Amino acid sequence: AEETLRQAQKMEAVGHLTGGIAHDFNNLLTIIIGNIDTVTRRLDSSSDPRAKRSLDNALKGAERAAALTQRLLAFSRRQALDPKRTDIARLLAGMSDLLTRSITETIAIRIHAPGDLWNVEVDPHQLENAILNLAVNARDAMADGGNLTVEAHNLVAEAGNTAAFVEAGHYVVVSVTDTGTGMTPETVAKVFDPFFTTKEVGKGTGLGLSMVYGFAKQSGGYVHIDSVPGAGTTVDLYLPRAADGEAEAAAEESVQAIELG
């Protein structure tokens, strides 16, 4: 619990800080991009092609920086969740094209969800984002190819049968597994820290897993990482089961009855 609090405070502080900086940067980059655009349009066919190429490069750099600040802004805002009863099997099926396009040809992907999967109560867009983040990390860990598995299953957690970090209850566990580089325990200990990244500048922000962590916590769930250097990584998202349909309908009815009565 203390670890969770520390992590939440860190995210809060980073959120405030990056929000302000990213906002100002975004404005400045808009000015830079606008001006490059103006100059580019003023160049005519007789202009030095090297000048045009330099401007192109400057534009590409500025646009990459703008994309990065957009991600920082999204992180700092961490839009309020809009939880809905969500069918994860359908959500995964809907993501299959996107996931396939996000990986490389040398990676084989398998998506599996059983037919009797429970519903969960989460923000479906944020869940898609989280899964996409995990898939991209998996891809980056498998530069030489490998297997990516996205799988979901029901779990009844009781004292003694499940990892200690999970409170007793019903969960749908979404697992993203890769056969990539894996991580040392020292790295695993740092991956939820905002801005922790081992990727080169411009490739990673170090915000992906912090966002996944924030999403899971805000949804009343957990994230757990199992990683073996040289063998691969599994990230498990534990998402609390939604109150079942019948119970929910009954509860709604009784609320109406009270209001009417």
Q: Which of 178, 179, 216, 237 binds ligand ADP (CB under 6 A)?
A: 178
| Closest CB 230 distance from ligand ADP, rounded Å | 11
Q: Is 76 in the site for ligand ADP (CB under 6 A)?
A: no
Q: Are 232 and 179 in contact (CB under 8 A)?
A: yes
Residues 226-245 that bind ligand ADP (CB under 6 A): 233
Per-residue contact string for residues 88-127; x = within reach of ligand ADP by CB under 6 A: ----------------------------------------
Q: Is 208 in the site for ligand ADP (CB under 6 A)?
A: yes
Stretch of 59-67, 78-86, 111-119, 200-208 contacting ligand ADP, by CB under 6 A? 200-208
Q: Is 175 in the site for ligand ADP (CB under 6 A)?
A: no
Q: Is 18 in the site for ligand ADP (CB under 6 A)?
A: no
Residues that bind ligand ADP (CB under 6 A): 133, 137-138, 141, 178, 180-181, 183, 191, 196-199, 204-210, 233
